[in-house]
Structure formats: C-alpha cells, structure tokens
C-alpha cells in the first residue's frame, strides 16, 4: 500500500533531485505538489517542478502555484546559488507548461481531507504555504500524520547568515506559525546535508554515469551550485539538502540519531533572522515541539538516490 505525500517546494536544483526520489519511489503516492517562492520566484519554481514531473513520466501529479512572497517580508531568492532559472542555467526548456488550478495551500487542505490521518507532508522550501494553510484551517493539524521539514541547523551554523538556514531565513514568520501550530514536525537541517549528503566529483561522475536522462539532469543542474559551494560553503563538491530530507521522509532509517527538542525561530533580529533556536540543554523548560535529525546514514541515502535515477 502506497503512502500519500504532499510535497511543498521552491523548485531549484536540489529540490528537483528530491522530487525525482519521491516521484519514482514505488511506495510513495505523491498526491499533490505545492510551489512556494524561495530559491527562485514562484513562476520559475512552477515551471521547474512541471519539467521534472514530465521527465519522470509523472505529469499526472497535480502541481499548484502557491505564495509568491513571504508572509511579511519581501522575497529574497537563492538564484545566486542555483542560477537564474534555478536549474543551473544549462538551457533546459523551462517554459510553457501549465500548473493545476487552485492555490497550493488549498491543495494541501484538500489532500488532508482526502487522506485524513495518513497524509505525510514534506517541505523543501520556505514554509509560507504551510502557514497560509494553517491560518485558513487550523484543524489541518489533526489530519496530518507527519511533516518533514528541510530547514534549520541543529548545530546553529547557517548558510544564509552565521546561524540561519535559507528556507527558515526567507520567511521566519511562517516558521513561527508552523512551530506554534502543534503539527507533528521533523526537521532535517542543512547540517545533515553538509555532513552526510555532499557529492564529491567522483560521486557526481558515478551518478551521471548511470546514463539515464534523469541521472544526467540530476548532476548537470548543479552547475551553479557547485561554484557556490566551492567559493562560499567550502564544500568539496555540491550538497543535496532536499534529497536527503526526502530520503529520510521516505525511509526514517536514514536518521541514525534524533532528538526531541523545543524549537523557536528568531523573526526580528537582523543578525540572526531565521535562526531556529533548538533548546539542546532544556534551558526553557518547554515541551519539545519537533523531532530533529542529528545524524544520518550516508550510504543508505546514496543507495536511495542511485535507485531513483536508474
């Protein structure tokens, strides 16, 4: 029996790989995909997701446009990381496809009714659409089985400012809504990606050598990300935060260590905007509101990735 997934994404180069993993997994029924502005403006994210679904022969999956801007802040994109088109600027045909009608937040609410109690939500971008859905229908909380969030950093070493991860930084007010909601949250942070999901040149070559159009795309679209990682995050290749989060969502055995922690987000400070403060020592005395992945199985992740592109 397949498991129903609702995926919310700001589709760029690593999100695309995560979509491949989900769309091609035999145990997962991707019931809808919502698009949010983040890595790229909304219209680019929509076209990128439609392209990936088509490449995976999954154009049957409805893809819905959602929020074009964060709840309160102006949009700041990650195009300097993923390219102007979000897919490495390698000339892919990323125009002309049409999304399904309706807002992504409404699609999430509808999916929660259609799959009440079993729906699993995976977020790969800013949490704007999720916050909008919660504000429209707070009872959503009771119909969702789990929410896996690619975001934050358990070691508080950021990639957007010294302590914040990009997805949380783009719309911290949405993160605040989600953290306060009572949703069953599970965080897979950028710390997991840079520790367990870095694709060094030999890894990337092996993945591309699988030889399928999907495998080739998954490597080629990382072109601008490779440059960013080399110059800014100092990684010896490119990392795949959204794919390892998706792999964990599908198979929780990817996590070799987790902690239940109380988490709050900084929304106001220019210095630490978007920092998800994890109460590692229990100073606040508040009940945990999230499960946080703190270590992962790299070999199992790579196995899932290679299986997805064959």
Give the domain CATH number at 176: 3.90.245.10
Q: For residues 304 and 25, what is the distance between their CA atoms, to the nearest angstrom? A: 9
- Band of residue 231 on the pLDDT scale cut at 50, 70, 90: confident
CB–CB of 204/221 below 8 Å? no
What is the average per-residue pLDDT within 151-166? 96
Tell me what percent of the residues of the chain surpass a pLDDT of 70.
100
pTM: 0.96
Structural domain total, the chain: 1
What's the gap between Cα 209 and its chain centre? 26
Give, in order, the Cα–Cα distances in Å from 136 to each of 124, 168, 208. 21, 21, 43
Q: Is 274 left (phi over 0), alpha (psi -120 to 50) or beta?
A: left
The reported pLDDT for the residue numbered 233 is 77
**Is the per-residue pLDDT at 5 higher than 90?**
yes
Domain with 99 in it: 3-309
Q: What average pLDDT does the structure give for the chain? A: 96
Question: How many CA atoms does the CB half-sphere of 268 hold within 13 Å?
Answer: 0
Q: What is the pLDDT of residue 226?
A: 87
């Amino acid at each position: 029996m397949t498991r129903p997934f609702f995926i919310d994404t700001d589709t760029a180069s690593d999100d695309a790989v995560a979509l491949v993993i989900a769309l091609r997994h035999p145990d997962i029924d991707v019931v809808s995909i919502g698009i949010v502005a983040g890595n790229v403006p909304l219209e680019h994210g929509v076209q990128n997701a439609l392209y990936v679904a088509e490449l995976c022969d999954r154009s049957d999956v409805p893809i819905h446009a959602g929020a074009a801007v964060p709840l309160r802040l102006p949009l700041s994109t990650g195009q300097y990381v993923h390219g102007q088109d979000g897919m490495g600027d390698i000339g892919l045909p990323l125009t002309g496809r049409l999304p399904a009608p309706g807002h992504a937040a409404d699609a999430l609410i509808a999916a929660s009714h259609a799959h009440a109690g079993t729906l699993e939500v995976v977020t790969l971008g800013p949490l704007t659409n999720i916050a909008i859905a919660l504000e429209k229908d707070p009872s959503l909380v009771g119909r969702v089985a789990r929410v896996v969030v690619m975001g934050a950093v358990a070691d508080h070493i950021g990639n957007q400012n010294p302590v914040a991860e990009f997805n949380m930084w783009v719309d911290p007010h949405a993160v605040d809504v989600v953290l306060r909601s009572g949703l069953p949250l599970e965080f897979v942070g950028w710390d997991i990606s840079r520790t367990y999901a870095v694709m060094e040149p030999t890894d990337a070559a092996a993945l591309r050598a699988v030889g399928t159009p999907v495998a080739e795309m998954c490597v080629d679209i990382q072109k601008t990300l490779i440059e960013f990682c080399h110059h800014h995050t100092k990684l010896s290749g490119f990392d795949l935060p959204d794919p390892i989060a998706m792999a964990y969502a599908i198979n929780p055995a990817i996590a070799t260590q987790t902690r239940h922690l109380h988490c709050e987000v900084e929304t106001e400070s220019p210095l630490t905007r978007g920092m998800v403060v994890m109460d590692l020592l229990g100073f606040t005395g508040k009940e945990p509101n999230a499960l946080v992945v703190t270590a992962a199985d790299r070999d199992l992740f790579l196995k899932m990735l290679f299986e997805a592109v064959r």
